[in-house]
Chains A and B, each alone.
Chain A
């Protein structure tokens, strides 16, 4: 039977990692996600799994590389500055096509910033982050439940495509307590014939590399990666829609800002404003196509983010000029209230109505 508990997002994610058959976790403390390492340091050994506090995020991500290259389910988590430090390693993982799960409990930046929640890492998460041509599959949870669910999904997608998966959460979802149900999950049997486990006589040697010194071979590798990203774009788009059927206006928001927008939507509906919520769940691949369809029956969209306007660029790409796409956000770890968002919506309605 599925078990329901009251847990912090970070701890639910850690517990899900154990249930998802995560063989190894490597991490370095940073607020607001140190609970993950603390939880796993306590729990992983009970399950005979590997958990280690590394000397830095640079080391953690490279330990993940080693473990993933040997065919194990490996994961790390951190928050913004730590994720920045991992970018070289993430690029190597993507280049070498190693599956793994990376969790960013986003805090506000740049620099050391603040430990309060933010969404300023959207560009870094979705547009590459590290060097070279690659994409991560990016999952954006908006509840404690999804922080757990996306661990299973993340590992499965990582293995399916041999690509790192990033869960982009934030300091609020990671820290808040909610009910969470751990659904039954069967850890898939290991089938990684490419893993470096020691070369038996029966097969050629395996090697994990992102190095292709001849440009002709590098291009072939790049094309192979691109073909994979195309497949991911075609097959893995995920989103949630609430009240979009009759909506004249649509909030577009992910993660924590989607939670706030949901409340704002309810307030606006009470006032008779027909507004809906579109919540991208995968930030890569991004649901451009669906936004484009929705634009046909919507007056304008409002992208609400905890940054200075990053995802709004993708909303505009999706809508492709059909209707206005506006932006509203708070910065620095500050959160808009639902009333702020409704007020912004009403102001924009007037502005666009008067044109």
Chain B
């Protein structure tokens, strides 16, 4: 092939070839760079979304166990010596390794994890009598009542030793000497209750269908020798009809709660031991009451009846004042058969109820919820909730022992206890309370997030109430009226305000502003009025000034003339405030607030937070709002002005509506900032989780609550997880606000897209 390439190339000019090639390679490089930049941006965005999602996953992962339903499984069942004695005749050790039952003549230990059985230990001193009733006076302390009217004390303990790193449990028991409660030793003891109080033990025994005897032992210190014990025995009068079917003493020995075959619940007041008397009674049921039990803390009474109903009762001040009465708090899920046993958890307000047909319910006293229903063997006679609330041991009439493992780490948390009002012990009605820790072991944790959400919204509300008008008016002034040369300074200064660490603001608010505000509250409330009046007067005077004088001031800088006016207004307002306080409020506004309006005054209150948080929020709202106002096309302003509108009319009717998407998002971003703000609310309020609208009281915000309590919360505990739930709520709140803001903004923007 004889192709003359030279000829082919002939006509083409040589010179432009190189620049063209160069530009092509440059273009290739540009495309490559472009592609990489785009990828980098996408990667960054994906990373951000992924990390936010990861945070969300962690939070949800921590929260989720709170709402997981309780679970239980039956681990073993074993036969023990014989049928249990009536009453609290079953118990288990802390580790659920060894259970014990009390039969008609002996104490029987049974290992739960391994097979076999310990030899039965006969109860000493029975002298041929049988054990007819068992009452538990404290953990592991039982009172055994005999068929001949005597009582034997029994103390069961488990000694824990560690051998070669292994736990070895040795059961121990100690029997007391029998004491006769029926002097003639004829009547059998049907039911027993006992308690050891500070002043000595009390034992109440039922010796006939309607006969109760109470033995109190008072220890008297002797000058020489051992203290003398003086026992006294008295019969308790029964003033209701029917037979006694259940009773129990509270842990302080103050009250005896008694149930009858007619469904009556009677409270005996034992505070005066020489004169026990029935204090009040309530009709609980039409069926016989088969069970009375106290929850941990001895404030709540569980009552079960022959029809299977379970309810809790508390001693509350009666509505019209007067003596406290037993009041029904919750009804629990019904059993299908008579309730035979109830055992409280020793760490919270949970309890187990068992019925004669083998139904086992796991209930929670605070929430009134039945968390778990189990089917055990029929004919249950006794049940005990393990000391760590992680297991149940039941015994049936045939002497069969069942061991259940319960997994329910957060019994006190349901959606209702976190958000709805809850009837806590000692409260007159259901309320929203946050109180995560208390001084005593039987403290009832109160995990209502509602007051915290309320606090967050309250703080945000007051902050926005303060910040939004100021920031928006400032933005409007700066963008529409201020001289550009002044604006060039004002805007960056306000933006620097946004960089102020909130801990500094919080510190100033708590330690400087709060005491200051406290002194000038009346003046503070007069301030807006007085300032407005002063500024309006100043404006009026300004208009009256001859034109020649007015021209001295450059347009757009008139605002500086207002500075002395504002200062004078503040001085006037605080002066007037003092006057008003002396003249109208009796010299002390706090006293007046309390007596006239019923408002209490805290030094660190919502007003202080509103102002301090307002300062944190103002720069954000101002900056974004000002930007969007300034971005309103100039030709719209010109159009309005050319129609004879004043600048003010133009600003209000044209600029403001056109900038509304930006202004809306400014407010929403301010809202989001205020919701999440922690340090200011932490330092400038008293952090009391109260729920009221009073501007002079403090509050506790979700964010501050997490900051305050998380260091104290044991990992994995209910408090820990509830704090994560609070964090989750915060997340949702800001997410919702931002989403709504974005949606509204997009809608508004679409409306103005042709501008």
Whether chain B is bound by chain A comes out as no
